[in-house]
Chain A
Amino acid sequence: MKSQNSILATAAIAVIGLAGLSGVATAHHAATMFDREQTVELVGTIREFQWTNPHIWIQIQVPNADGEVEEWSVEGGVPNRLFRSGWRPNSFEPGDEVTIRAFPMHDGGKAGLFIGAKLSDGSTLGRYE
């Protein structure tokens, strides 16, 4: 919990109530570990983009208030369906500066379920109003 508090106070930046938001990634597994009542915004640098089945994963490094870099794992949808909605295997590349919005884990683990992202060129992916 301490870790979660730290993240929320510093790097995560924003917690927004989004009860009722649906239509995010459909997983091959139960997704109850993610809190769909909360949203975190992760501002950082892409370390790795895993364009893989059964889900894509975005490894993003996020600096906290102490200057330390924390890595978050953001789980997305199935690459097959993401491709059809406009994603590509190079939608994220190492070194990209991005902001990712995600549902965080209930228990404070440094992972989230992808909602949307704003890329350095101002374009967006997913739900990022």
Chain B
Amino acid sequence: MKGRLRSLASGCRRSVVLASMGLFAASAFGQGGSTVNRPYDELPDWSGVWSMTSNTVFDQATVDPPGGSSNTIGTREYPPYNEAWEAIYAANRAADARGEFPDPISTCGTPVGYPRLLNQPGAYEFVVRPEQVWILTEDGPNIMRIYTDGRDLPPPDELWPTYSGESVGHWEGDTLVFQTVSMKGHTGAIVDRTGLVLSEEAVIETRMRQTGPDLIEARFAIDDPTAFTDTWHVVKEFERMEPGTRIFEFACAENNRNPIDASGRTLTLDAEGNILDQL
């Protein structure tokens, strides 16, 4: 074991050298290590503060128009929806165009849920521990706990839909692989503001690995037997921010001047709390 640890430590040092040369060796970390309960010195260093490289359109590969914003009416993506769920997506986009597709997090109290948790505009921390990995987002409340201690997913009678679901994972070389189930479906969460939603039956396999000295890639394989005709593959990337970057408190309810009315319309209040919208 000692010999292997020395070899891994050597591998890590080698990666630093390669990184400094702009030749990051993605496979330098953890090759051949244990798949669960991996000790600290066999885990990758994902310390620091990270930010998503793209805007908040979840699937950058199919966004229409290219480069479109999730805050612009008409922007859409092309997940492999079946006919019924393509209709749901169309209805959501139509509601958005009417100003009646409120973001569920406008209530300032609920998490964005998974996979939207890896589609956030604010800062991230990826805390890698032997028995679990935590994904912490500055916006929130969003905390993802991925157990890497060898446990199985809970049995069905111990699961109920939650925003972020339940996740268990393991390491394959330098890649964190985890399965997430039991997420709230379209009645409680969205994937992005274009109107993308999943059903409660969605199962997501996420593969995260460092692809550069300051770059982490997350590859999603999303199966949704209720909504999809095929597996939906999506890639997001995160870049490490400047050393010393601060993460700040996000208290959404502190001064929320955009409440939702009974129709689902997002209102705008003046400084005294009066409604500015011409209702």
| 22 interchain pairs, CB-CB under 8 A | A1-B278, A22-B67, A22-B72, A23-B69, A29-B103, A30-B102, A32-B71, A33-B99, A33-B267, A50-B255, A53-B250, A53-B251, A53-B254, A53-B255, A55-B258, A71-B271, A73-B257, A73-B269, A73-B276, A78-B122, A84-B246, A111-B268
Q: How many residues of A contact B (CB 8 A)?
A: 37
Chain B CB within 8 A of A107 CB: yes
Residues of chain B with a CB closer than 8 A to A111's CB: 268, 270, 276
Closest Cβ neighbor of A77 among chain B residues: B121
Candidates A32, A71, A80; contact of B96 at CB < 8 Å: A32
Determine if A27 is an interface residue (Cβ-Cβ < 8 Å): yes
B60: chain A residues at CB < 8 Å are none
Note all chain B residues with C-beta closer than 8 A to A80: 122-123, 138, 247-250
Interface of A is mostly: loop
Task: Given A50-B255, A53-B254, A57-B255, verify A33-B277 contact (CB < 8 Å).
Answer: yes
Cβ 8 A contact of B102, one of A29, A84, A109: A29
Tell me, rounded to whole Å, the shortest Cβ–Cβ distance linking A39 to chain B.
15
Interface status of A45 (Cβ within 8 A of chain B): no
Cβ of A36 under 8 Å from chain B: yes
Chain A residues within an 8 Å CB radius of B122: 78, 80-81
Known A-B contacts A80-B123, A80-B138; A30 and B250 likewise in contact (beta carbons under 8 Å): no
Residue contact A32 to B99, C-beta cutoff 8 Å = yes
If A22-B69, A105-B277, A111-B276 touch, whether A30 touches B257 (CB-CB below 8 Å) is no
Whether A6 sits at the interface, judged by CB under 8 Å, is: no
Closest B residue, CB atoms, query A106: B99
In the bound assembly, the distance between CA atoms of A75 and B256 in angstroms comes to 11
Query: Is B266 part of the binding interface, using a Cβ–Cβ cutoff of 8 Å?
Result: yes
Task: List A residues at the B interface (Cβ < 8 Å).
Answer: 1, 3, 22-23, 26-33, 36, 48, 50, 52-55, 57, 59, 71, 73, 75, 78-81, 83-84, 105-111
Q: B54-90 toward A: CB 8 Å interface, digit per residue (1/0)? A: 0110000000000101011100000000000000000
Given contacts A36-B72, A52-B255, A53-B250, contact A28 B99 (CB under 8 A): no
Task: Report yes or no: A48 in contact with B250, Cβ–Cβ below 8 A.
Answer: no
Report the Cα distance A48→B270, complex, angstroms. Answer: 12
- Report the bound CA distance from A33 to B71 in whole Å: 11
Does B252 interact with chain A (Cβ within 8 Å)?
yes
Please determine whether B268 and A54 come into contact, CB atoms closer than 8 angstroms: no
In B204-259, which residues have CB < 8 Å from any A CB?
Answer: 245-252, 254-258
Shortest C-beta distance, B188 to chain A (Å), equals 16
